[in-house]
């Protein structure tokens, strides 16, 4: 590999870096504008919807403990009825 090849590789890498930088700048600007627009929309929402949005954005809304299900209720259904009404692969859960 001679110095002309290295120079060509350097130009290619420089071009790719410039392309990547311009794309990253555009994406950053778009995300900034979207964030500002969403804040503007939230400002003019009724307070009940703002409260819902703030609850959905809070970290505690993401981590919820699963609800305990009572499993002591048992129900029987005739297999022929469940097959006719819901199909052969139907499963019935009663809580």
Report the 10 Å Cβ neighbour count for 79: 10
**Residue 76 structure tokens:** 């029987």
| Residue 55 near residue 61, CB atoms below 8 Å | yes
pLDDT of residue 74: 47
Residue with the bigger pLDDT between 25 and 62: it is: 25
Give mean pLDDT, residues 10-23. 84
| Residue 70 near residue 95, CB atoms below 8 Å | yes
Give per-residue pLDDT as tens, 47-80.
766 666 666 665 554 444 445 555 444 445 454 4
Q: Per-residue pLDDT for 28 more than 50?
A: yes
| Residue 82 near residue 90, CB atoms below 8 Å | yes
Domain ranges, ordered by start, for the chain: 3-65
Report the 10 Å Cβ neighbour count for 77: 13
Instruction: Decide: pTM greater than 0.85.
Output: no
């Amino acid at each position: 590999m001679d110095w002309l090849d290295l120079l060509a590789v350097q130009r290619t890498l420089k071009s790719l870096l410039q392309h990547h930088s311009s794309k990253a700048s555009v994406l950053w600007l778009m995300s900034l504008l979207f964030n500002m627009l969403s804040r503007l929309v939230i400002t003019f929402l009724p307070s009940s919807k703002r409260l819902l949005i703030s609850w959905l954005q809070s970290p505690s809304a993401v981590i919820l403990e699963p609800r305990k299900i009572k499993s002591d209720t048992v129900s029987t259904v005739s297999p022929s009825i469940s097959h006719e009404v819901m199909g052969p692969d139907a499963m019935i859960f009663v809580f």
